[in-house]
Homo-oligomer: A and B are copies of this chain.
Amino acid sequence: MKTIQVALLGFGTVGSGTFEVIMNRQREQFAHKVGADLVVKTVLVRHPAKYREQIPDQVQLTDDIDQILADEDIDIVVELIGGLEPAKTYILKALAAGKSVVSANKDLIAVAGREIYAAAAKAGKDFMFEAAAMGAIPIVHPLMEGLSANHIEEIVGIMNGTTNYILSKMAEEGWSYDQALAEATRLGYAEADPTADVEGLDAGRKVAILANLAFHCPAVFDDVYIEGITKVTAVDIAYAARFGYVIKLLGIANKQAEGVALRVYPALIDKRHPLASVNDSFNAAFVRGDAVDEAMFYGRGAGKLPTASAVVGDIIDISRNIVCGCEGRLGDSTYESCCFLPIDEVENPFFVRLTVKDSSGVLAQIGQAFGDANVSIAQVVQETLSAHDLADLVIITHSVKERNFRQALDAICNTEVVEKVESVIRVYGDIR
């Protein structure tokens, strides 16, 4: 029986989890699942001596990528070092050296995916990245395989666990954003610098990668419009609940009449939608296709063993290809061109919370101003504030192009009754 040999680049959280799954948890299973044995031959780390105690002697440790590239016994290179460089160079060199590659590196794939897909196709090798899209949740392979009989119309998802934990706690416990972030940091869900999570960058990378697979298009991170959750308040969440909505940070990739729209922003979503009950640090992707109708994939978007589950799933898949002599079987999925819509051209309903003068005729005046701008109002709540003769006026509009909505909002701000625009949050889906 053949032994398939793997090199791990990096031995952090995901690297050590991947090592554990291959060398311990699944050790006895590979013969059945793959028809070959599977071992980690070499681990690349910056300071090999530091890792000698936790890695068995029969596994090589090196700080020299060339040793791995030149080793003809190594079939699969698993890139878990993250970041743009040297990860990209290592991946391209490994493919050129005739090795298939697995990567969990969303930062890299969201900007250089196409170049790597093309390099893999040229080399006739596999490049697999299930863990880079939604962590443990199988979504890359279902999009390329199980759902491949569909024209995908939309993917909308909760693509970041840290922000979902924060928004869940704000909704359930009434915490402020700062309180929820502090607790997320304490629990290790948020990093010391939480920017990539709370500003939506992490989710934006996943939107770009999923768009590659769903629409076969060359989307990159810069094609995604991104807003984070730092401006969402407990007051907005409470008003949303009164209208029957929850607020989630959504990643959305969909086809509209004039092009593909890619964006990440906090949005109101109907509390009966399956994504609305995805709470805490869980992630989910909801997919609409012309044949499948609706499907949803739910699970852990991060974590040591969950991410390793996806990485080793890819390693097993490639190993089967090696055993059958069919590496490169899936090929490059980004064969279409497409036009990406700027956010101004995207249509949504909007949730607007205004502080207005608490006098008669205010609602009529604002309604008139929205009407003049062809923005149709779906729902309104007005609530007197305790002080200063002011009121909260909360409006949900029907679907309208972002550009038109912003023009209407400018006009309304120019009326003398509006004191302040407290918040503007998009609404996902049509108003029922």
A-side interface residues toward B, CB under 8 Å? 17, 21, 25-26, 32-33, 35, 130, 136-138, 141-142, 145-151, 216, 274, 277-278, 282, 284, 289-300, 303, 305-306, 308-313, 315-317, 320-321, 324-326, 328-331, 333, 335
Q: Which of A26, A148, A278 has the largest number of chain B CB atoms within 10 A?
A: A148
Contacts A32-B335, A297-B297 aside, 18 further interface pairs with beta carbons under 8 A come to: A17-B291, A21-B149, A26-B149, A35-B331, A138-B295, A141-B142, A142-B142, A145-B317, A148-B317, A149-B313, A292-B300, A292-B309, A293-B305, A294-B298, A294-B299, A295-B299, A324-B325, A326-B329
Which residue in chain B gives the minimum CB-CB distance to A139?
Answer: B146
Q: Are A25 and B290 in contact (CB under 8 A)?
A: yes
Cβ–Cβ < 8 Å partners of A130 in chain B? 146
Tell me, in angstroms, the Cα distance from A320 to B144 when the chains sit together: 11
Q: Are B329 and A324 in contact (CB under 8 A)?
A: yes
Cβ–Cβ < 8 Å partners of A321 in chain B? 326, 329
Q: Are B277 and A309 in contact (CB under 8 A)?
A: no
Q: Could you tell me the distance in whole angstroms from the C-beta of A245 to the nearest C-beta in chain B?
A: 15
Contact of A330 among B17, B148, B320 (CB under 8 A): B320
Q: Could you tell me the distance in whole angstroms from the C-beta of A292 to the nearest C-beta in chain B?
A: 4
Tell me, in angstroms, the Cα distance from A335 to B293 when the chains sit together: 34
Q: Could you tell me the distance in whole angstroms from the C-beta of A198 to the nearest C-beta in chain B?
A: 24
Q: Could you tell me the distance in whole angstroms from the C-beta of A87 to the nearest C-beta in chain B?
A: 22
Shortest 4 CB-CB distances between A and B: which pairs? A138-B146, A149-B312, A295-B299, A324-B326
Q: Which of A17, A33, A292 has the largest number of chain B CB atoms within 10 A?
A: A292
Q: Could you tell me the distance in whole angstroms from the C-beta of A127 to the nearest C-beta in chain B?
A: 16
Which residue in chain B gives the minimum CB-CB distance to A334?
Answer: B32
Tell me, in angstroms, the Cα distance from A90 to B123 when the chains sit together: 40
Cβ–Cβ < 8 Å partners of A17 in chain B? 291
Q: Are A289 and B309 in contact (CB under 8 A)?
A: yes
Tell me, in angstroms, the Cα distance from A74 to B137 when the chains sit together: 36
Contact of A25 among B291, B300, B310 (CB under 8 A): B291
Q: Are A305 and B320 in contact (CB under 8 A)?
A: no
Mind listing 23 A-B residue pairs with CB under 8 Å? A25-B151, A26-B149, A32-B216, A32-B335, A136-B291, A136-B293, A136-B295, A138-B138, A141-B145, A145-B145, A148-B313, A148-B317, A149-B313, A150-B309, A282-B294, A291-B305, A291-B306, A291-B309, A292-B309, A294-B299, A294-B300, A296-B299, A320-B329
Q: Could you tell me the distance in whole angstroms from the C-beta of A17 to the nearest C-beta in chain B?
A: 8
Q: Could you tell me the distance in whole angstroms from the C-beta of A259 to the nearest C-beta in chain B?
A: 19
Q: Could you tell me the distance in whole angstroms from the C-beta of A209 to the nearest C-beta in chain B?
A: 16
Which residue in chain B gives the minimum CB-CB distance to A294?
Answer: B299
Q: Are A298 and B298 in contact (CB under 8 A)?
A: yes
Cβ–Cβ < 8 Å partners of A296 in chain B? 284, 296-299
Q: Are B142 and A138 in contact (CB under 8 A)?
A: yes
Tell me, in angstroms, the Cα distance from A333 to B35 when the chains sit together: 11
Q: Could you tell me the distance in whole angstroms from the C-beta of A202 to the nearest C-beta in chain B?
A: 19
Cβ–Cβ < 8 Å partners of A331 in chain B? 35
Cβ–Cβ < 8 Å partners of A25 in chain B? 149, 151, 290-291
Q: Are A316 and B148 in contact (CB under 8 A)?
A: yes
A299-B292, A300-B293, A326-B326 known; A313 vs B277 contact (CB < 8 Å): no
